[in-house]
Amino acid sequence: MIEVAQADCRHFQRVAWSWLRSGEITRTAHLLSPLEELCGFNYGFVYLMRVDERTVKIGHSEHPMRRLRELQPQYGKGLRLVGCFVGEPPVERFTHRRFANLRVRNELFLDHPIIAAYFAQTRTEIRERLQALHICSSACATLNKGLDLRMLGTWLSRRG
């Protein structure tokens, strides 16, 4: 965790939000904002991958792009990450239950516009909730303790 004196909270907030708005993405090939990246370190992502023109895969991973590379030998080079949002395994299970009527087998589902709409809507709702998070040091009493600030610390050390 980054240690910042309590009095530096406002400055830290300005720097943190500057980083979050910077567009710097490291793990998900520009599908996510830096804020989603930061929160995904702790919670992982529920992802939507297109398997072929009729089938999609819904799953959970801490690193969706790495998971894509792991699955390509099984599903072929046509496998594409088309959407994801910050979420834990129970959210993935809820999503599977929600679209049970479209299930082909296991984590594979018929590609239907309602699934894409669900991913877009859920991502928007989660981004709005994440925007309300207080991002600061572990010394700050209002810090959301669920956040891992290592990415932010790395960025701050490079920016001086």
What would the pLDDT profile of 16-49 be if each residue is shown by its tens digit?
666 656 555 444 454 666 666 666 666 788 999 9
- Name, in order, each residue with C-beta under 8 angstroms of 151's C-beta and a sequence gap of 6 or more: 26, 34, 37, 38, 41
In the predicted model, residues of the chain with pLDDT beneath 50 are 1-7, 25-28, 30, 159-160
For the sheet with 108-110, list strands across it: 80-86, 45-50, 55-61, 108-110, 103-105
